[in-house]
A and B are shown apart, each in its own frame.
Chain A
Amino acid sequence: MFNNIVHGVHGYTHYKGGAGHLSFVMHRVSGLGTLLFLSMHILLESTAHYAPHLYERLNAGLRTPIALAAEILMAFLVIFHGVNGYRIAYFDLFHIDLWSLPAAPKAARATWIVSLLLWFPAFIIMLLHGLHVI
């Protein structure tokens, strides 16, 4: 399995697949990042029920510039995963013919633009909220 991972990651970084390949890699990275965040989020929020004092301590402990930066980055990963996921679901379920040149890489690039446009206001608002607590 270890060898498979080494070869796989080498393929992820070296395959010259252009915009579509970049989206594939980014969908995996953002998905895994989101799952890691979600797992911690479930455990952290659960302490509100199981150990309220621990919840308050963890909540206060997470109000640092690093945590804020991580949350803002996380917002981009979630937005990208959602926009790109909609592209994949739409193509696969309703328009299989769009998985072809030149539509596919064009749509992949549009995904980045839409994601960045949605992220930008979120970035500003999260920063403004964050400045209250750090």
Chain B
Amino acid sequence: MITLKRETSFKPNYEIRAWKYMRLSAILLVPLVWIHTIINTLIVGAENINLNFVATRWANIGWQVYDILLLTFAFSHGVNGLRQVLFDFTQSHTARRILNMLLLLFWILLSLVGASAILGGIEK
């Protein structure tokens, strides 16, 4: 068996950091997302999810922190994933720049909407 081992040293650019971020955030996302869905979908269940349930959740600082973490890591992982897929179909530098700006805008906008709702909670 031939073992190839190549040691390289270079300064990581943005795309290399993004590549690494996808893998590191994945390690965090499996427990974050699965615990979220196991509790809400399998234990609590659709029949018990209503405005009152969400209000109780978002009145608790622990769940607010949990949901903010979930929103931050899941959505950034997702939008960057979409960016990678779209870049596979886009060669021109200009088109990639436009896509980058649109995706950044989409990411910031939805993150702000979600985070403000989580932190704002629900008045009973």
Contacts and interface: CB of A to CB of B under 8 A. Distances in A.
Given A49-B117, A86-B30, A122-B42, A56 B51 contact: yes
Interface of B: 3, 23-24, 26-27, 29-30, 33-34, 37, 41-42, 45-47, 49-51, 54-55, 58, 71, 74-75, 78-79, 81-82, 85, 88-91, 95, 110, 113-114, 116-118, 120-122
Interface residues of A, number: 43
A1 interface: yes
B54 to A, nearest CB: 5
- Residue in B23, B46, B85 whose Cβ sees the most chain A Cβ within 10 Å: B46
Contacts of B85: 28, 31-32
B75 A78 contact: no
Given A1-B95, A59-B50, A126 B41 contact: yes
B117 A89 contact: no
A68 B47 CA distance: 12
B117 A48 contact: yes
A113 B119 CA distance: 39
- Residue in A28, A82, A125, A129 whose Cβ sees the most chain B Cβ within 10 Å: A129
Nearest to A46: B117
A42 B122 contact: no
A52 interface: yes
Contacts of A63: 46
A71 B75 CA distance: 19
B78 A31 contact: yes
B29 A52 contact: no
